Amino acid sequence: MRRIGIGRTALVAAAVLSGMLLDQAVRPRLDVTVLAQQRQTQPPPQAQRGQPPAPTLESLAAQVAVLQGLVPSNSHIMMDVQWHWTNLWFAGQAKNWPLAQFYFNETRGHIQWLTKKSPTVRSSGPDREEVDIASIFNAVDTSSLADVKAAIEKKDSAKFAASYKIMLDSCYSCHKSVGRPYLRPMIPRMQVQSALNFDPNFTGP
Which residues, in sequence order, are CB contacts of 67 under 8 Å at separation 6+? none
Domain-wise residue ranges, the chain: 1-41, 73-177
Pairwise CA distance, residues 129 & 201, whole Å? 50
Mapping DSSP to helix (H, G, I), strand (E, B) and coil, where does residue 182 land?
coil
Q: Which fold has domain 73-177?
A: Four Helix Bundle (Hemerythrin (Met), subunit A) (1.20.120)
Mean pLDDT of 145-174: 98
Burial of 125 (C-beta count, 10 Å sphere; 0-12/13-18/19+):
middle
Mean pLDDT of all residues belonging to the chain:
82
Mean pLDDT of 53-76: 80
27: enclosing H helix or E strand:
helix 2-41
What is residue 127's predicted lDDT score, i.e. its pLDDT? 79
What is residue 58's predicted lDDT score, i.e. its pLDDT? 78
Mapping DSSP to helix (H, G, I), strand (E, B) and coil, where does residue 54 land?
coil
Give the β-pairing of 130-132 and 120-122. antiparallel
Q: Which amino acid is at 166?
A: I
Residue 80 near residue 107 (C-beta atoms within 8 A):
no
- The HSE-up count of residue 199 (CA atoms within 13 Å, CB side) is 5
What is residue 194's predicted lDDT score, i.e. its pLDDT? 74
Helix, strand, coil: what percent of the chain each, to 5?
70, 5, 30
What is residue 6's predicted lDDT score, i.e. its pLDDT? 47
What is residue 26's predicted lDDT score, i.e. its pLDDT? 46
Pairwise CA distance, residues 163 & 152, whole Å? 10
CB atoms within 10 A of CB 169: 10
What is residue 66's predicted lDDT score, i.e. its pLDDT? 79
What is residue 40's predicted lDDT score, i.e. its pLDDT? 59
Closest CA to 132 of 144, 122, 143, 142: 122
Q: Each residue of 133-155: pLDDT tens digit?
A: 999 999 999 999 999 999 999 99
Residue 104 near residue 88 (C-beta atoms within 8 A):
yes
> Of 157 and 14, which is predicted with more confidence?
157
Would you give the DSSP letter of residue 129?
-
Query: Mean pLDDT highest for which of 8-22, 25-39, 113-127, 176-190?
Result: 176-190
Mean pLDDT of 33-48: 57
